[in-house]
Structure formats: structure tokens, C-alpha cells
Amino acid sequence: MPELELPKDDFVRDIIRDDLSKGSHQAVITRFPPEPNGYLHIGHAKSICLNFGVAKEFGGHCHLRFDDTNPAKEEQEFIDSIKEDVSWLGFDWGENLFHASDYFEQLYSWAESLINKGLAYVCDLSAEEMREYRGTLTEPGRDSPYRNRSVEENLSLFREMRAGGFPEGSKTLRAKIDMASGNMNLRDPALYRIKHAAHPRTGSTWKIYPTYDYAHGQSDAIEGITHSLCTLEFADHRPLYDWLIEHLTVPARPRQYEFARLNLTHTVLSKRVLMRLVSEGHVTGWDDPRMPTIRGMRRRGVPPEALKDFIGRLAISKSDSTIEMQMLDHSIREHLNEHAERRMAVLKPLKLTIRNWPKGQTEMLEVPNHPGRPELGTRKIPFSGSLWIEADDFMEDPPRKFFRLGPGREVRLRFAYLVTCEDFIKNETGEVTEIICTYDPATAGGNAPDGRKVKGIIHWVSAVHAIEAEVLLTSQLFKSENPSAGGDPIEDIDANSLEVVKEVKLEPELASALAGYPVQFERLGYFNRDPAQSQLAFIRTIGLRDSWAKTQTKG
């Protein structure tokens, strides 16, 4: 069934539609501008989908541009991983791969032009002094004592800065705007700072680097970006963005528009905190399945289509909002329900022996790979008189509403036969170790010829044929909806969010499972072959909805 995509409509697309109809632009050019100082997470995915999505919808292009203006924090490793993640999401920047560092020379000469116009000056204030001079949110700042240097002096100082004649932090190039502005960004913002660190792309060529504010808008202009979409916290920077575009002889006039960033319950999307989770060892790495990173979700088995579907349901607006994690869960389940093939696996094995099954006999059952999609074919699974069933599917003294096995109760072994529990065996500690049943030979395939009703259906794996693997069961990394509410989110980490289950029993077919193609373990959830382990292992992508668990907790 082809997925029906509703036309997207939001304030950004309204603006674009309007610009296009007025003829302000021939085509739409957007950009996704990550700083290569970390891995992409689901919040970035929103921006990626917006920028690439909008470009595609209106027949334009989206550039992938690395905002690599701070060599102290950026690494090639991140450049590579970001490209990989964007591609995995299914977006293609084609020829349009850029770096702000490609424009360093041009940006530099524009900076000199600003100096020549008397709109920028070299300032000797230290970082601390600059902060003092900046004033506060409610009090105006004071002019730097270096604010009125001559053009000639500024020029020679700035050239000396470029030549590496000054130590890091000793000087900056600042725009001369308004130290009394209510907008802090206009209080003579720094345009260039001295950094002697090696840049992943330009090496040691440069001793000075442009700030975000100076580089971003100009890079947009150079690339002919028509709509520069960023998050709300940059709205205050827009007057500066516009000021620079106005005072520089740039080739185009890009406009910046801001939308609300994505927030999700039960997780945190701050680069700083994500970094701590990894560096302090609270998770196993950037690809830990509990991480909201693109690689974490990929390893977990979240299909890119599900992620994009989720983001497509989000609105592009300007109001701060926090989306419930269940929304994402829904998109994942919806996609996987349709696409994942079904398999059988037993997580907490309990032996079930069929007393009247012919000794040593194995029957191969042909079963569908998907209940609703016959085109996905069938597979054969072995059935025998000695099975593993889920320990949770048996109760010694079950309540009325428990539809599974209990003394004297009859259930359907999925796709196989109806069995009745005749007896059970306990060990010294009182733990049930084996269930003894008889099967009804007339119920092959699970059909009762007499039409008798069997409410319970349980899954199973033939004991002699089962293969084993390790399974990773994860739950939310954080206990509360808003992990930062109580202060340090690290305090809110759920120590039990990662459970490793060994020697899980699987139907033989699962030996050939491929990472990236999650399957449904019937009645349990969706599982992805763990790409990070060489031996057979699975990660639970997400569980099935479980109304039985709900009625249980309700008592």
C-alpha cells in the first residue's frame, strides 16, 4: 500500500510559497549546517528533514555545510559520521557539500572591508574584561577603550592577527554596532578570534577564525541560500545576521527564519549531556541503543522511514514543545508492524514436554512470515515433543482472565497444536521447571475440528532445534519525563535500563538474521540483529503494545 503523504503546511512553507509566487526567488535553496563536534541526534533529524524536505517539495536543493569555524572542538571523525548519518536517513546532498572553511579567505577580505568602513575594530580586551564591558541584561554596556582606533591601525593589527603575531585570546575583531542595545548580540559582537589550534581541513594556515555569527550568514550568501532555517535561540541573532549582510558586498540576500527545536520526554538532546553520558560511561557509546543519537537508533533497529514518519507528524512552529516519546514509539511500531517478518523466540525459557508425542519425531510446519502480507512468503519451523515456552505463559494458580497455561488448561501452540497441561514439575526451591502436556493430534495447525474455543495462544521453540543468542533489552535511559527537571539529568539515569539476557532460545531461521532488518519475535516485540557484535545477538527495538500488562497493573 503506497503511503499517502499529506502535503505539509506550516509557517516556513507558507513563507516559501509566498516568496515563490511573488517571484522573490527562482528556486529554494536551504542548508543543513552541523558543527562537526559531535554525533547527530534525533533533534538534528528534525532540521535535516525540514531542510531537505522543503528543498525537495519546492524543487530546490539542500546543501550540507559543515560549520567548521572552531578548530578547538571539531574533528574529521565527526564530519564523516555526520555524512554517514544524513545518508542513512535517506537524504542526498549531491554535489552540494560545503564547509564554512572553504570561505575563510573571502570572509577575511570582507572583514577588512568592514574595517575600512569603520564598522569593525580590533579590541584588546580580555575575555573577562569584555564581559564586564558588555553590561547585563538590564544595564547597557560601555564602549571598549579600543573602539575608536583608526582604520589604519585596525587594519595593520588585524593583519598581524592573521599572521600569528599575537597569542590566543589577546585580541578580537569586533563589529562596531551599539553597546547599549537591548539585544546583547548587537553589543559589538566578536567577529574573529585568535586560535592557534590545527583545523581538520585548513591545518595551520589560519591563526584567526571567524565566529558563528560572522561566518554563517555570509556562507549562506555565498551559497545562494534563500531560506536559512535555524532554531529559536538564534532569533536574537537575526538583527546581527541582517546587519552583516547589509554592510557587506555579498552576492545574495538570504533570510533567516527560526523554528522550535525538538524536545522529547524521557531523554535529553543537549550535546553537552550526551557527551557526558558517553565520556563518563553511563552508556556503552554513541551507538548505545538507549541513546537518542541517529547511530544509537540505527543500532537499535529503528528504521529511517519510521524516524522520518515521526518527524513528519511533528509541526514546524515557534512554540516550545515537548513531544511524548510514545509518539516516536508509535511511528516505529507502525512501520515495523507492516515491514518486519515474524519469527519465534523464547526469552525466559521453560521446558514443555508433550507426553503423547511420538518419541523422537520432528514435524516441519510451514508458517507465514507475516500475518497480513502473504507476499512475504512462508518458512518452515521444526516442531517436536520437547519445547521451550515463555515462563510467563504458565501460572500454577492462574486467575480467570489469564488466557495461557495452567494446570488443566488448554492453549494453542501458535501454528502447531492444542495442548493441555496435565502436570508440572518443581525443583527443591519451589520453582516450576517443566510442564507436562498432552496434545490433540486432531488439531494440526492449531485448528480444533470440533470448533472448541481456545482463547490462549502461546509461542514456542523446539528444544532440540533451538539456537541460542544473547538479547539486549533496553528501556528508557532516564526515569522521569523531564530528566533535567530535578537538576543534573545524570542523577535520573535508570540503572536497570539495559538488561542482557543470555541463552535466549530462537527458531533456527534466526541464525541468518541481518542487522538493519528487524524482525518481530511473536508476542514479544521487534528485534534487530546487533551490528556491533560478531556473534549472534539481538537488540529489542521496541516491545509490542501490551494490554495484558496494563490490565495486570490496574489490579
Could you say whether residue 327 binds RNA (CB under 7 A)?
yes
Task: Write out the three cell numbers for 481.
Answer: 519525563
- Give the footprint of RNA on residues 359-418 (CB under 7 A): 370-372, 401-404, 412, 414-415
CB of 124 to RNA, least distance (A): 8
Taking the C-alpha atoms of residue 11 and residue 513, their distance in angstroms, rounded to an integer, is 44
Which residue's CB is nearer to RNA, number 27 or number 546?
546
CB of 125 to RNA, least distance (A): 6
The correct pick among 162, 216, 299, 300 for binding RNA (CB under 7 A) is: 216
CB of 23 to RNA, least distance (A): 21
Which residue's CB is nearer to RNA, number 4 or number 495?
4
Question: How many amino acids of this chain bind RNA (CB under 7 A)?
Answer: 90
Known catalytic membership, residue 271: yes
Taking the C-alpha atoms of residue 266 and residue 91, their distance in angstroms, rounded to an integer, is 28
- Pattern of binders to RNA over 257-296, x per CB under 7 A? ---x------------------------------------
- Which region, judged by CB under 7 A, interacts with RNA, from 19-27, 316-324, 493-501, 533-541? 316-324
- Give the footprint of RNA on residues 62-101 (CB under 7 A): 67, 69-70, 72-73
Residue that has been written with the C-alpha cell 524543487 in this structure: 59
CB of 509 to RNA, least distance (A): 15
Could you say whether residue 318 binds RNA (CB under 7 A)?
yes
As beta bridge partners, residue 388 has 351, 461
CB of 464 to RNA, least distance (A): 22
Known catalytic membership, residue 35: yes
Question: For residue 232, what is the DSSP state?
Answer: G
Smallest CA-to-CA distance from 238 within 251, 218, 263, 255 is with: 255
- Give the footprint of RNA on residues 487-546 (CB under 7 A): 520, 522-523, 544-546
Smallest CA-to-CA distance from 58 within 26, 99, 28 is with: 28
- Find how far residue 219's CA is from the centre of its chain: 27
Smallest CA-to-CA distance from 437 within 412, 454, 414, 401 is with: 412
Residue that has been written with the C-alpha cell 534487530 in this structure: 528
Could you say whether residue 168 binds RNA (CB under 7 A)?
yes
Which residue's CB is nearer to RNA, number 93 or number 209?
209
Which residue's CB is nearer to RNA, number 102 or number 288?
102
- Among residues 8, 159, 195, 271, which one is catalytic? 271
Can you give the C-alpha Rg of the chain in angstroms?
A: 31
- Please measure the distance between the N-terminal and C-terminal CA atoms of the chain and give it in whole angstroms: 40
- Give the footprint of RNA on residues 452-491 (CB under 7 A): 456-457
Angle between helices 212-223 and 238-247 (to 10 degrees): 60
- Which region, judged by CB under 7 A, interacts with RNA, from 19-27, 49-57, 104-112, 314-322? 314-322
CB of 519 to RNA, least distance (A): 11
Smallest CA-to-CA distance from 139 within 176, 184, 185 is with: 184
Which residue's CB is nearer to RNA, number 339 or number 465?
339
The correct pick among 76, 87, 204, 321 for binding RNA (CB under 7 A) is: 321
Which residue's CB is nearer to RNA, number 151 or number 190?
190
- Among residues 142, 147, 195, 261, which one is catalytic? 261
Could you say whether residue 447 binds RNA (CB under 7 A)?
yes
Could you say whether residue 420 binds RNA (CB under 7 A)?
no
- Give the footprint of RNA on residues 15-44 (CB under 7 A): 33, 35
Taking the C-alpha atoms of residue 111 and residue 113, their distance in angstroms, rounded to an integer, is 5
DSSP line for 474-542: E--SBSSSSTTTTS-GGGGB-TTSEEEEEEEEE-GGGGG--TTS-EEETTTEEEEE-TT-SSSEEEEEE
Could you say whether residue 302 binds RNA (CB under 7 A)?
no
Question: For residue 120, what is the DSSP state?
Answer: E
Cβ neighbours, 10 Å, residue 62: 26
Which residue's CB is nearer to RNA, number 531 or number 543?
543
Known catalytic membership, residue 207: no
Smallest CA-to-CA distance from 199 within 71, 102, 78 is with: 71
Q: What phi and psi values does residue 458 have, to the nearest 5 degrees?
A: -125, 155
Count CA atoms closer than 13 A to 308's CA, side-chain side.
18
Could you say whether residue 196 binds RNA (CB under 7 A)?
no
What separation in angstroms does the CA of 39 have from each of 31, 36, 285, 292, 325? Answer: 18, 8, 11, 10, 21
CB of 70 to RNA, least distance (A): 4
- Give the footprint of RNA on residues 112-151 (CB under 7 A): 125-127, 130-131, 134, 136-138
- Give the footprint of RNA on residues 227-256 (CB under 7 A): 232-237
Per the document, the length of the chain is 555
Smallest CA-to-CA distance from 215 within 182, 188, 180, 189 is with: 189
Give the residue numbers marked as catalytic.
35, 261, 271
